[in-house]
Amino acid sequence: MKYKGTSGRAVLTLCGVYGVAYLFSLQPVNRIYYSVLNVLLAVGIYSMLQQTEQNLRKIEEKRDRKRRICYVAVISFLFALSMVMGYQLQNLGMTDCGVRGKGMILIRALCLSVAAFPFANLLLDGIDRLSARGEATMSGRYWKSGIVFAVTAVVIFLCLIPVWLAYYPIIMSYDFHRQVNEAYKGLEWFYPLQPIAHTWLIRLFLQIGTAIGSYEAGMACMAVFQMVLYALVMGYATSMIWRMTAKKWPVVVTTLFLALFPYNTVLVVCTTKDTLFTILFTLFFLLF
């Protein structure tokens, strides 16, 4: 059994080395294929896999152990897939084409996920420890997370108002110009180059602007809608941090970052579809 475990880790180590080496092979410099650095990389991956296996065995409940392995595997694969496709886009300008190309992307992502697996397990292990510490500290005080949610959501929204006024009524980005023409003409003009649901949302606020008497006011309402949605989701994220840590400073730091970081605040008042998609994906991730 010990031999099988060692040989299994060795095979997984080779897969992990291949995955990491592939990313480096896409770079114009620092290629490490068939390099002595691969040996050091293999030793590191093997040691981390062995340590991760020992940590997983400490989970007494078999069901909980299987659940942890599944979660870590999914997170590792999604991270590896984004890395492989991202490196290809950055260095090749596109991802590999055809069925074979897409299949190789999945295979390379699986290999790279082996190297990412120990780190993902450490991440979830840290989250579990923070959650356990927060639960022990906050026993009987869960109602406070609602106050944290409400206060942080209001603070974030108030901090967005100066940005909204600076770019009033809304930042009309590159995708907007085609979408607004389709939205103005009607549903029969919608074209699926951009998500139809988002084009419909623009049309909805155009109609609100028509009822108010100003298209500009309608677009300003769309910006406010995005601001409210952003503030609510980020307030919920901050309340989760409070439940996990039961400490004030992580809540304060997170709130300040979400309320003041320019990239976030400017994108919130932008018509591009990425704004709403990012907010909703964050909510999905939090609920997941």
Residue 63 pLDDT greater than 60, yes or no: yes
Across 178-192, b (16+ Cβ under 10 Å) vs e yields ebbebbeeeeeebee
On whether both 227 and 168 belong to a single domain, the answer is yes
Q: Is the pLDDT of residue 140 over 50?
A: no
pLDDT > 90? residue 59: no
197 Cα distance to chain centroid: 22
The domain boundary residue, chosen from 137, 170, 200: 137
User: Which residues on neighbouring strands pair with residue 171, listed in sequence order?
Assistant: 270
Quote the percentage of the chain above a pLDDT of 90. 34
- CA pair distance 203, 187, nearest whole angstrom: 9
Angstrom distance (rounded) from CA 8 to CA 235: 44
Same domain, 149 and 129: no
C-alpha–C-alpha distance, residues 283 and 153, integer Å? 14
What is the distance between the alpha carbons of residues 220 and 230, in angstroms, rounded to a whole number?
A: 15
Look up the domain containing 97 and give its range. 2-137
Q: How far apart are CA 80 and CA 114, in angstroms?
A: 9
- pTM exceeds 0.75 for this model: no
**What pLDDT is stored for residue 1 in this prediction?**
43
- Asked if residue 125 and residue 17 are part of one domain, the reply reads yes
Looking at per-residue pLDDT, the higher value among 144 and 118 belongs to 118
Q: Residue 143 above 60 pLDDT?
A: no
Number of domains in the chain: 2
What is the per-residue pLDDT across 209-251, written as a single tens digit (0 to 9) for each? 889 888 889 889 999 999 999 999 999 999 998 888 777 888 8
Residue 264 pLDDT exceeds 50: yes
Residues 6+ positions from 244 with CB-CB distance below 8 Å: 127, 130, 131, 134
Indicate the range of 93-97, 135-139, 249-253 predicted with least confidence. Answer: 135-139
Which residue from 136, 155, 156, 134 is spatially nearest to 145, judged by alpha carbons? 134
Is 28 in the same domain as 150? Answer: no
CA dihedral sign of residues 54, 57, 59, 65 = positive
Picking from 82, 111, 137, the residue at the C-terminal end of a domain is 137
Q: Are residues 76 and 160 in the same domain?
A: no
Structure confidence at residue 189 (pLDDT): 65
* 202 and 131 in a common domain: no
Alpha carbons 63 and 282: distance in angstroms, whole number: 28
Three-state secondary-structure class, residue 167: coil
Q: What's the pLDDT score for residue 184?
A: 75
Domain endpoint, select from 100, 116, 137: 137
Question: What angle is formed at CA 120 by the lines to CA 279 and CA 51, rounded to 5 degrees?
Answer: 170
Q: Are 109 and 163 in a shared domain? A: no
Q: Report the pLDDT averaged over residues 247-275.
A: 89
Q: Which of 179, 237, 174 is closest to 206 using CA atoms?
A: 179
Alpha carbon distance 79, 109 (integer Å): 8
Shared domain for 91 and 165, answered yes or no, is: no
Q: Are residues 131 and 234 in the same domain?
A: no
Question: What is d(CA 208, CA 70) in angstroms, rounded to the nearest whole number?
Answer: 46
Q: Are residues 65 and 174 in the same domain?
A: no
Are residues 34 and 56 located together in one domain of the fold? yes
Same-domain pairing of 151 and 107: no
What band does 7 get if pLDDT is binned at 50, 70 and 90?
confident
Mean per-residue pLDDT of the chain: 84
Strand boundaries in 55-195, DSSP class E: none
